[in-house]
Amino acid sequence: MFETLNQPVDVLTVFLEGRVRPLRFRWKGRVIRVKKVTGEWSRREGSHRLAYFSVESQGAESYELCYDPRGPNWTLCKAWST
Amino acid sequence: MILLVDMDAFFASVEQLHHPHLRGHPVVVCGDPGRRGVVTAASYEARPFGVRAGMSLQEARRLCPQAQYVEGNPEKYVALSLRLLDLYLEFTPDVEPFSVDEAFLSVTGVGSTLEGAAKIARDIQTQIDQRVGLGATIGIGPNKLIAKMASSVEKPRGLTAMTPESFREWFWPRDVSEMWGVGPKLAERLKPLGIATVGDLARAKASDLEGAFGVIGPQLREAASGHDLSPLIPYHQGIDPKSMGHEVTLSSDSEDAEYLRGVLLRLSDQVARRMRSEGFRGRTVAIKLRDHKFVTHIRQATLREFTDDHRLIFERAHELFTRLWKGGAVRLVGVSVSHLERRSESFQSELFVHHAREGQLRDAVDQVRDRLGEASLIPAGAMAGRARRSHVPFGAISSRSLIPRSGRRGASSP
């Protein structure tokens, strides 16, 4: 099931042609490489727009990340746990 | 010809698209899976177990305990819906979004024949599959009604084209509840008139139907014959909403009058805020209460003048609540406002000084919320029993935005 975390995480990020992409992030002492961004959406919070990503890791795990341009910072919103 | 593109099990399919490990497994989209509530959508893998939208989560878990229960996220579905809209616009400029997962398309030229429209429909299905990774069912007909009903014939990834003749051949022998716009309750009311099938409805006397159902009666009869003159309204022309509302399933049944009053106030505030942000005012306030036995009660009343002020909406909602509620346990509360008009049309009422001052206050509150988010200012009266509402429901503000920014870094949970 999905575990709701909302934990701040460090994410290696690429900014390309006005778009943000997570490449890998550190969580629970390990580096998780993003194999594929499987979904993107956004949500307005006040005057800012937060960018959300669902990602699949190279280990076929599933996560949801949020990029907040106000920090800027990243939050690990959800992780799939078996 | 008109096409109705209906995304198959849209919410559940989006979750399966975003999370590959969910593919091929029963998925149930709901509110917070850790709390009670209802099923928002079920994947095709969950449906053979009897899981359906609108069913309580408790019942769904009994029928399909092995399903993955996933919290729905409206922003996700809207984002994909907008991508789909762009895709449809590559085929025709005449697209009417009907809901987040359905759209009517009008195709001309090659698409003016059933065969030509079917070819376009197949192209659309292929493009949706290849570019978005989702399945769609498409119904085709000479009008919106036939296209919509044709889309129900074969799912998922179905493609059904119907003429008025084939519409009658297929639907007339079928139960009247298969008619678009006829739900189980209306179907029950048609039975005493000897109307059990769509064909019975088409052959019924217009005067009998008008006597029983008013103006809608003869309209139903026309629809049962496959007649529909409603125009397709392209999205860029816009359609004003008829009502705006919010509702919430409580985390546990409540008989606490103060708590329920706070919920009504919060919902009234959310509705008023949405009306203001979209430039509307309304006159008719309705409340919805669902009791612990799942029986739903709705009451409505009309205000003397149009408003977008949460206090006026709440006052009327609370009056309705006081008259309706007899002290039993409440499961769900909803507030909606209908009879809407564009704000500019009702500018006259702002000529009154006290209205102008209240308007200034509302504008100031809106400015703060625009800048800092919806949870930055909440009516004090809505804070009663706030802990019980720590989970903010589907379609409302997120619980994440309730956390002060200073408290987010390092926090292990919301």
DSSP letter for each residue of A5-67: EEEEEEEEEEEETTEEEEEEEEETTEEEEEEEEEEEEEEEETTEEEEEEEEEETTS-EEEEEE
CA gap B313, B185 in Å, rounded:
30
Quickly name the fold that domain B1-144 has: MutS, DNA mismatch repair protein, domain I (3.40.1170)
- Cβ of B401 and A54 within 8 Å? no
Q: Which amino acid, B34?
A: G
Q: Which residues of A touch B404 (CB under 8 A)?
A: none
Q: Which residues of B touch A80 (CB under 8 A)?
A: 19, 21
The set of catalytic residues of B is 102
Q: Quote the pLDDT of residue B177.
A: 93
Q: Which two tokens stand for residue B402?
A: 């309730």
Q: Quote the pLDDT of residue B167.
A: 96
Q: Which residues of A touch B373 (CB under 8 A)?
A: 45-46
Q: Which residues of A touch B372 (CB under 8 A)?
A: 46
Q: Which residues of A touch B411 (CB under 8 A)?
A: 6-8
- CA closest to B19 among chain A residues: A62
Counting one residue from chain A and one from chain B, the pairs whose CB atoms sit within 8 A come to 73
| Partner B contacted by A72 (CB < 8 A) | no
* Chain B residues contacting A via beta carbons under 8 Å: 14, 17-21, 33, 68-71, 73, 75-76, 78-80, 369-373, 376, 398, 400-401, 403, 405, 408-414
Q: Is the dihedral of CA A68, A70, A71, A72 positive or negative?
A: positive
Tens of pLDDT along B61-101? 999 999 999 999 999 999 999 999 999 999 999 999 999 99
Q: Which two tokens stand for residue B150?
A: 């044709």
Q: Quote the pLDDT of residue B351.
A: 52
Asked if B379 contacts B310 with a C-beta cutoff of 8 angstroms, the reply is: yes
HSE value, Cβ hemisphere, 13 Å, CA-based, for B96: 17
Q: Quote the pLDDT of residue B348.
A: 52
**The CATH homologous superfamily of the domain defined by B168-224:** 5' to 3' exonuclease, C-terminal subdomain (1.10.150.20)
Tens of pLDDT along B356-414? 777 788 888 888 888 888 878 888 877 765 554 444 443 343 333 333 333 333 333 22
Q: Quote the pLDDT of residue B366.
A: 87
- Cβ of A8 and B398 within 8 Å? no
Q: Which residues of chain B have pLDDT under 70?
A: 237-239, 345-355, 384-414
Window 10-69 of A, Cβ < 8 Å to B: 38-43, 45-47, 52, 54, 56, 60, 62, 64, 66
Nearest to B21 among A8, A60, A73 (CB): A60
What are the boundaries of each domain within chain B? 1-144, 168-224, 243-402
- Cβ of B19 and A80 within 8 Å? yes
Residues in chain A: 82
CA gap B400, A43 in Å, rounded:
11
> Could you tell me which residues come within 8 angstroms of residue B272 by beta carbon, excluding any fewer than 6 positions away?
B307, B308, B309, B310, B313, B337
- CA closest to B82 among chain A residues: A41
Q: Which residues of A touch B19 (CB under 8 A)?
A: 38, 54, 56, 62, 80
- CA closest to A46 among chain B residues: B373
- Cβ of A62 and B400 within 8 Å? no
Checking ipTM against 0.85, whether it exceeds it is: yes
Does residue A45 surpass a pLDDT of 80?
A: yes
- Cβ of A73 and B409 within 8 Å? yes
Q: Average of pLDDT values for A40-60?
A: 90
Q: Quote the pLDDT of residue A46.
A: 80
What are the boundaries of each domain within chain A? 2-80
For residue B76, the distance in angstroms to the closest alpha carbon of chain A comes to 5
**The CATH homologous superfamily of the domain defined by B243-402:** DNA polymerase, Y-family, little finger domain (3.30.1490.100)
- Cβ of A5 and B412 within 8 Å? yes
Asked if B364 contacts B275 with a C-beta cutoff of 8 angstroms, the reply is: no
Which pTM value belongs to this model?
A: 0.76
- Cβ of A80 and B372 within 8 Å? no
Res. A7 pLDDT band, cuts 50 70 90 = very high
CA gap B13, B3 in Å, rounded:
21
Q: Quote the pLDDT of residue B215.
A: 85
Q: Quote the pLDDT of residue B368.
A: 87
* Percent of chain A with pLDDT strictly greater than 70: 98
Residue (of B67, B32, B19, B26) closest to B388 by Cα position: B32
- Cβ of A41 and B75 within 8 Å? yes
Q: Which residues of B touch A60 (CB under 8 A)?
A: 20-21
- Cβ of A38 and B403 within 8 Å? no
